[in-house]
Structures are given as C-alpha cells and as structure tokens.
Structure 1
C-alpha cells in the first residue's frame, strides 16, 4: 500500500512537470523565443502556447513595448576645446525579437555606446554657445544615426533627448557675469528710454502750456484793447456832448461883458491855490473887469429881465449802447457840430470890433503891480 501511494505521487508529479513544460503563457506585448536543442525554432505570441516538453524551451522573453533608457553624463569636448558633461535619454522599441536576440548580445549597452560616440562626433564640430543653443539639431542628427545603426538589430529609435549640458564651473561663472552684464545693459537702456520719453512728454506739456498761455494772453490783450477802444469812444462821445451842451447853454444864455467879468473874478482864487504858488501876476485887464463888475452891481446892465429860454436844445443821444458804426457816425456828427459852433462864435465876435476899439481908447490899460 505505501508503495502504490508513492507511485501515485510520483505519477502526479510527472504529469505536473510535463504540463508545465508543455503549456506556456506569454504576457501581452511580449514575445517568447523558442529553441529546440539550442537552435531557434519559433517566436511565441502573447497568450497560451503548447510546447514539446523537454525538447522545446523558451530561451528569451522579449519586451515589445517602447522603452526609456537614461544614460549617465559623459564628458564631451567642443570645437573650442571646452569639456562639457552631457547626459541623454533614449526612447526605443524592439520591432524584431529574433534580431534583437541573435544579432546583438546586449542591445541596451550597444545603444548607449553608440549614443556616446555619435554625440562626441556631433558636439566636436560645434562651439560651446552653439552647443547650448542647438539642442533640437543635435537631437535630430543623433536620432538619425542611431536609427540607421540599430535597424539591423531589430530596434527602432523613436526619440533622443539631451537631458542636460553642463559646462565647466569657470564657464558657468563667465556666462553668469555676461548674462548679468546684458541684463544691466537692458535695464540701463530701458531706464534711458523711460527718461527720454519722460523728457519728451514734459517738453510737450511745457510747449502746450506755453501755447495756451500765449493764446490766453493774446485773447486777453485783444479783449482789453477792444474794451479800452470802446471806453475811449464812449468817453470821447460824452466829452463831445458835454462840450456841445455847455457851448449851446452859453449861447442860449446870451452872456454880456458883466457876466464874463464876474466869471473871470471867480477863477482868480483858483489860480492862486496851492502851496507852490507864492507869486502871481495880476493881468492888465483887471481894471476894466472891475469897472464892468461895478457897473453890473449898480445898474445890473447887460442882464436881461426876462429869459425866453434856450433857442436850441441839445440832443443827448440814445441811452442804449450804440454799435461801432453808430458810434463812428455819432463822433463825426459831434465833431461837425463843434466845428460849426466854433465858426459861429468866431463870426459873432467879429461883428462889433468898433465897440471894442472905443473901449480901448476910453481908458488906457492899467499898469501891472509889482510881484509880491
């Protein structure tokens, strides 16, 4: 009985081992390389596969997905003899599992070495500044070389990226100084442009202010001149009307010699007014004026008993403010009336020259008193 049990156990174990060697499950996006007696037989797809136990063997399991490999930084010498450290990232995919298995022993290491050598060739023809600013060009050229070289290995390089380009510390310091100098230069240029714009705007504001002030002064002077002109015209019109009124009133009153002598005596105290008038001269006609005044006080001769009133009334003009044309016409009319009145006065004064001559012969002129 124990022997039968041991036999059954061994039989079950044999069946399990045979099934394990016969049935093989390949994961998705993988490929199994099957060898029979050390020779390639076939590639197993994803899923359940049946093998001949103890004869067929899955030698390699190849990943068909896109893979990312980052290589450590490598020193590279540029055209201007500067050593820079460059690390790269490769994106590749196995397209032929058989070629990737039997054409190359370690395709990842091969891609790394090929990347480094190709990168040294590309960067060796560039200077430092071009290397730092030509990442896309380096990536495209590197990808083209790698894709061409790895095609026979069953590998397709999809993308190559330069993860970092590190120049020497001294070059970094110089680059920082240059960048700082460029920024200081741009800041100085922007400051100068701002000051220039500010000065231009200030000058334009001053110009506009001066223009507006000049225009305001000009308009103010024009308005002031027009006001002075109108005031002078109105003042002249008023003086002309006042002269005409006084002149007309004198003629309407028909003054005689006695009235004129009386007015003459009233004006004499005004002549002597003032602290500076220490000496004044009595005119020679003072005697005749006093005689006329005496006869006037005694007999009131020359003064009419009844006054008929003025013969002509003076028109004072309209009370409204006239226009410029009306003011000019009024001034002309006033000047004409004044000239006419003066002419009439001169004509009337020449009608009695004999009477004035007789008065001169009747009494000689009085002697002027000595100055006090």
Structure 2
C-alpha cells in the first residue's frame, strides 16, 4: 500500500515536470529532408553535433543523417505557476505567497544553449526575487503597493533572464496567506477604523445639527428683536403723538383761559375757581382718617377769616357792578341779591374777639407739630 502511494506520487511529479519542460522545448520531430515548421515555433538544427541554424515557420530543407533537429522552442507567451513559499516582511510577519509568471522565448538559440531547464530556473529565480522584495517592505505596504511589487519582480526577473533568451512579461501575486493572529488583529483594526469613521460621521452630524439649531435661534432672536423694536418704536410714536395732542389741548385751554382773564372781571372768576379747587382738595383730604391738616399760619386765624371775607366781598362787589350796569334792575333787586351773597358776620365786639383769640391761642399751644401718615401708622 505504501509502495503504491509512493509510485503514484513519483509518477505524478514526473508527468508534471515533463509537461512543464515541454513548455519551451517541445518534442523534436524526425528529419525527413523536407520540414514544415508550424507558426510560432523555432527549430534549432545541429549539423554533425554543432549548431547550424534556426528554422523559421514554413517550408525548410535539411540533409538527413547530417542535420538533426536538436530543440523545438515555442515562441508563444507561456504562464508558469510559482508555487507557495514563505516570506518575512520588514516588520517580522511571516507570509505565504504564490503567483503566476508570464514569459516567452525571445532568442531560441540562447533558450536552447544558455540554460538547462529554463522553466525550473525561472521558477526558482521568481521565488527568490519575491522573497527578497517582500523583506524590504512592511505588511501594510504589501497590500498597498502590490502593483509596484509586481513591477519590481518583473524588472529583476527580466534582467536575470536576459542571458537565457527569455523575456519576462509580467508577474502577478495570486494569494497572500496571513497567520491567524495577524488576521484577527487586522480584523480588529478594521472594526476600530469603522467605529472611528462612524463616530466622526456622528459627531459631524451633531455639529451640523447644533449649527443649524444655533442659526435658527439666532434668526428667531433677530426677528423677535426687530419685532420688539418696531413695537417700541410704534408705542413711542403713539405716546409722543398723545403727549403732543395733550400739550396742544392744554395750550389751547391755557389760551382760552388767558383770553377769558383778559376780559372784564376775568381775574375775579379765576380767583373764585382757585378757591373752589382749594376747598374741594381740603374736603377730599378731610375724608382720610390717618391725615391731620394744619394751616401754614396756625396762630393767625383772623387773617384766614379776612382772606375768606375778601373773596366773598369781591364776588359781592362784582354782583353789584353787574346789577348797576343793568338798566332794568331796581334797588329792591340789588338789595335782595346782596343779602343773598353776604356771608355771616362775626361779632364785632372787642370782648368776643378777645375771647376767640384766647381760645385759638390755647388750642394751638396744646396742638403738636404736624405729623406724616407714616408716623401716624407707626403709632
């Protein structure tokens, strides 16, 4: 059983090696004198064991037994699989890589006599070159600079395979296998980067939202302030207009009063109106229970009485003048009117006056100075 498995593995490797070997050096046909070379092939002819010439595609003639078809080279582009190999990056990460190399024979003579087993030599050169280039860069650069890495490998392989008559067209890294821990770390890094981007986008959204809200509040405050300003302006304008109209009305009233005073007996009428307002104001103050009113001249009641009598006399005299000026008025009517307007007369005896003065003086002496509403409330 073990021998059969070993035999199958050996046969498989032999067939694979034979197929890869025939990629460049195809199976040589026999020399029949007349040869038909297919397109995209080159036949290397040896005469008496020495290189003679290279047959081009088409009809060719050779001498049998003297000329021998030593090599048949394919001029087509060939793809060679580069097997898996391990490589260490500059940051000490072990990678397993494989790739595909595309090349073709440029010079059939050099491909036949420059190297033995050109495909094997190219494969080994590609592996060593890729391992060397991977060691110069980091793991992140392997993924970022994959295209540049392929071009660098092609450049190195082309320079090395030039003496073999082989042209390296391109090289492609097919698979890159990472250790499991590195995969997990990279996955965590990717997740962290995505969370970071999500947080940044969320913060930007919140910032835009805050800016929009601030702009809205600013606009609303500006509009509110403008409305308040307009309202205050209108209110001030209305108040100014009201004050102006009130002043005009008062000025008109003053003009009317002044005109009335200029007329005959106008001053007496004004004095009467002032006296009435004075009495009305005092009557209003007398209704308040916490207010005491004291005259400015508390010791001179006689002068107060004299002032009141003077007012009434002035009014009485005005009435008499009006009665005398009227032709239709009689003495009896004027006498009746005077009796109606005459105020009550106080007793004129000296004893009565002295009695009143003594009473007022004793009363004023017993009275305290005027007190305010606040002092009364405190009491």
Which band: TM-score by shorter chain? 0.5 to 0.7
Does 2:82 correspond to 1:71?
Answer: yes
Give the structure, 1 or 2, with the largest relative contact order (CA under 8 Å, sep 6 or more).
1
The aligned residue for residue 95 of structure 1 is 106
Shift of 1:105: 2.8
TM-score in terms of structure 2 length: 0.61
- Find the aligned partners of 1:253 and 1:209 in 2 and give their Cα distance: 67
SS at match of 1:150: helix
Find the counterpart in structure 2 of residue 43 from structure 1. Answer: 54
Match among 232, 248, 251 for residue 240 of structure 1:
251
2:35 alignment partner, one of 24, 30, 42: 24
Following superposition, the deviation at residue 176 of structure 1 comes to 1.2
Give, in whole Å, the separation in 1 of the partners of 2:112 and 2:200: 63
Partner of 2:295: none
Report which stretch shifted further, 157-166 or 203-212.
203-212
CA contact (8 A) 1:257 1:302 kept: no
Q: Deviations over 1:60-105 (max 9, x none)?
A: 3212233332323322233444321212222222111012122223
Q: Given the alignment, which residue of 313, 323, 337 partners 1:301?
A: 323
Q: Which residue of 2 aligns with 1:13?
A: none
CA contact (8 A) 2:114 2:163 kept: yes
Aligned partners of 1:89 and 1:304: how far apart in 2?
146
The equivalent position to 1:152 in structure 2, one of 154, 163, 187, is 163
Write the distance in 2 (CA, Å) between the matches of 1:256 and 1:230.
Answer: 33
User: What is the rounded CA distance, in whole Å, between the counterparts of 1:68 and 1:302 in structure 2?
Assistant: 152
Task: Assess, with a 3 A threshold, how the Cα gap between structure 1 residues 365 and 64 changes in structure 2: closer, same or farther.
Answer: farther
CA distance in structure 1 between the aligned counterparts of 2:54 and 2:137, rounded to whole angstroms: 45
User: Hey, which bits of structure 1, 4+ residues long, moved more than 6 A?
Assistant: 255-258, 283-286, 359-362
Task: Tell me how far apart the structure 2 counterparts of residues 365 and 167 of structure 1 sit (CA, whole Å).
Answer: 138
Length, aligned pairs only: 293
2:106/2:166 contact within 8 Å kept: yes
Are 1:127 and 2:151 matched, yes or no? no
* Alignment counterpart, residue 138 of structure 1, candidates 143, 146, 149: 149
Q: How many Å separate the matches in 1 of 2:255 and 2:194?
A: 90
User: Structure 2, unaligned stretches of length 5 or more?
Assistant: 1-29, 290-303, 329-340, 349-379
Aligned residue runs from structure 1 range 141-290, under 5 A? 141-245=152-256, 248=259
Please, what is the CA RMSD of the aligned residues? 4.7
Distance 2:168 2:79 in 1: 10
Secondary structure at the aligned position of 2:243 is classed as helix
Does the 8 Å CA contact 2:31/2:69 hold for their aligned counterparts? no
| Residue 255 to residue 190, structure 1, CA distance change in 2 (3 Å) | closer
TM-score between the two structures when normalised by the length of structure 1? 0.62
Contact 2:102 2:171 in 1 (8 A): yes
Q: Check whether the contact 1:34–1:43 (CA below 8 A) recurs between aligned residues.
A: yes
Partner of 2:352: none
CA distance in 2, matches of 1:252, 1:208: 65
Structure 2: distance between partners of 1:153 and 1:301: 159
CA contact (8 A) 2:88 2:134 kept: yes
Deviation of 1:228 (Å): 0.9
